Amino acid sequence: MSKDAYIHKVLPGEPGGPLVFAFHGTGGDENQLLGFARELVPGATVVSPRGDVSELGAARFFRRTGEGVYDMDDLIRATVKMAGFVKAHVKEAKPSAVYALGYSNGANILASVLFAAPEQFDATALMHPLIPFAPEINGSLSGRRVLITAGRRDPICPPELTSRLNAYLRDAGADVRLEWHEGGHEVRPNEIDAAKRFFATKEQGQ
């Protein structure tokens, strides 16, 4: 798969340093999380793709037929395509570590790639993911670190599904941290602080 499979932006960092992939939410684009990813991992190279599906003009990474109802065939297509995109960039960059973060729909495609190819990422931050199905994890997530952030009153991502995802990942061997706030689907300061601590801890362990 080509590293140009998606329209994307690259924010160059230190050669041989960490590589961070940033996946936007519905209606966002390759600019939405670019600066935030660099803030989380200073000095990293950041790659931020734009979703290739349009939902009434809003960019997404895969199709859905309703709120929380995914087109599973298209999710499979998108997962294979994104895994190839990530692999191509990693092959070219030869980074010291590979990290990723995604918000909402971006967290969903990131989680799906993580299920399909657990070896792709050293650490991932899933911000308000919604996984309304039982994932099939292709291997073990042992040694992989995952941060999940969520709102206890999120109308899009019910807390019980967040807790279920947490359990799935733990059962597959992942080292999972779960950060809640009392609001809805918005990103709040404690989530940002948790993400900064999460990636800083990983950096110190290199």
193 noted as active-site residue: no
Across the chain, mean pLDDT equals 94
In angstroms, the CA 113 to CA 116 distance is 5
Active-site residue (options: 96, 163, 175, 185)? 185
Is the model's pLDDT at 204 over the cut of 60? no
Q: How far is CA 28 from CA 33, 39, 105, 175, 190, in A?
A: 9, 18, 10, 29, 22
pLDDT tier at 68 (50, 70, 90 boundaries)?
Answer: confident
The verdict on whether 8 is a catalytic residue reads no
The pLDDT score that the predictor gives to residue 1 is: 64
Q: What pTM value is reported for the model?
A: 0.95
User: Which is higher by pLDDT, 179 or 66?
Assistant: 179
Catalytic residue among 29, 112, 154, 181: 154
pLDDT digits (tens, 9 = 90+) for 96-152: 999 999 999 999 999 999 999 999 999 999 999 999 998 989 989 998 999 999 999
pLDDT of residue 206: 44
Q: Over 90: is that where the pLDDT of 84 sits?
A: yes
- pLDDT tier, 205 (very low <50, low <70, confident <90, very high otherwise): very low
- Of 144, 137, 100, nearest to 117 (Cα)? 137
- Taking alpha carbons only, the member of 186, 138, 178 closest to residue 162 is 178
Choose the catalytic residue: 48, 104, 112, 128.
Answer: 104
pLDDT in the model for residue 202: 56
pLDDT at 67: 79
Task: Express each pLDDT in 165-194 by its tens digit.
Answer: 999 999 999 999 999 999 999 999 999 999
- For the question of residue 185 being annotated catalytic, the response is yes
Averaged pLDDT, 54-78: 93
DSSP letters, 9-43, are: EEE--STTS-EEEEEPPTT--TTTTHHHHHHHSTT
Crossing angle for the helix pair 105-116 and 72-93, to the nearest 10 degrees: 80
- Residue 4 sits at φ, ψ, to 5 deg, of -110, 20
